[in-house]
């Protein structure tokens, strides 16, 4: 079942290459800590700077490490439809449970172009597709009406909404129905998103505090919103301060402090500034993370 705290996994690097052992060890820690699902090769995984071979290998490594214990939703997005189809086929071939496909970026397609992009992927590969709407990065917004059209495609089963607009949950429910999976793509709004009927969040914060985020979503799943609100207050700074510098540099800095991986990122992302480090440390302590 796709729900709850789904980690948008960072991709560890060592000496310029993907650190395969650190990545699989990191996945093991995530699952042991109560994470409900995994997304390799998303934005937080620096998919834009992974080579084609690396992208496919990271998906394979994640599926192998998860070993069916939690769903793997492989990032398969590109601004080129044929490339998205290729990544989706790879995800299917190695046993991923679903794919996450972002709105085509840079090209600025029309709503019809967006629909045809997802239709081509759906028609090419029989695997569940989560549509990723993030206008801040892709420039183009998927309207609620277009999302309703996308929901009619055979393999489109849900969406990740990173607009932060809570009112969209009801609007998409109205157009797509109760079985359409709605996931927040934004930790700060995930409490409200779930309260309005969402099923979970593809989270950056859960990279650093998987146990706390897993519990946070378990509380909401069991309608214990008063307790969830208390926990959310302790996580609030982490929601925010993992973006004090361009992501995923702050998350990798925090994970380096925890001994999980090197803090290395790829250009044009740069390492965390010294002036940001105390903010990240403070947010981690507020979230109850022992450093």
The set of catalytic residues is 132, 160
CA angle 160, 97, 235 (to 5 degrees): 45
Backbone angles phi, psi at 39, to 5 degrees: -125, 100
Please give the full DSSP string across 91-160, using - where no structure is assigned: HHHHT-SEEEEEPPPSS---HHHHHHHHHHHHHH--S-EEEEE-HHHHS----HHHHHHHTTSTTEEEEE
Identify the sign of the CA torsion 201, 134, 240, 273.
Answer: positive
Cα–chain center distance at 246: 16
Can you tell me the distance from the alpha carbon of 173 to that of 274, in angstroms, rounded to the nearest whole number? Answer: 44
What's the DSSP call for residue 245?
S
Number of H helices, E strands in the chain: 12, 10
């Amino acid at each position: 079942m796709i729900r709850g705290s789904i980690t948008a996994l960072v991709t560890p690097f060592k000496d310029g290459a993907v650190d395969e052992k650190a990545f699989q060890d990191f996945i093991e820690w995530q699952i042991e800590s109560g994470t409900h699902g995994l997304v390799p090769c998303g934005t937080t995984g620096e998919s834009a700077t992974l080579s084609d071979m690396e992208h496919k290998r990271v998906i394979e490594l994640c599926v192998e490490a998860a070993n069916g214990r939690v769903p793997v939703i492989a990032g398969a997005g590109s601004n080129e439809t044929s490339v998205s189809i290729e990544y989706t086929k790879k995800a299917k071939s190695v046993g991923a449970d679903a794919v996450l496909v972002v709105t085509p970026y840079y090209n600025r397609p029309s709503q019809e172009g967006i629909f045809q992009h997802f239709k081509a992927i759906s028609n090419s590969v029989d695997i569940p597709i989560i549509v990723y709407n993030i206008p801040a990065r892709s420039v183009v917004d998927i309207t609620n009406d277009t999302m309703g059209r996308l929901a009619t495609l055979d393999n489109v089963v849900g969406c990740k909404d990173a607009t932060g607009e809570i009112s969209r949950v009801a609007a998409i429910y109205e157009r797509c129905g109760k079985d359409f999976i709605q996931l927040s793509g934004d930790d700060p709004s995930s409490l409200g998103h779930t309260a309005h009927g969402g099923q979970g969040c593809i989270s950056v914060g859960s990279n650093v505090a998987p146990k706390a985020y897993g519990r946070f979503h378990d509380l909401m799943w069991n309608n214990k919103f008063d307790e969830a609100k208390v926990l959310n207050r302790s996580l609030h700074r982490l929601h925010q301060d993992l973006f004090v510098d361009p992501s995923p540099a702050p998350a990798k800095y925090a994970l380096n402090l925890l001994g999980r991986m090197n803090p290395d990122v790829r250009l044009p992302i740069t390492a965390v500034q010294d002036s940001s480090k105390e903010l990240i440390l403070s947010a981690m302590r507020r979230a109850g993370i022992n450093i």
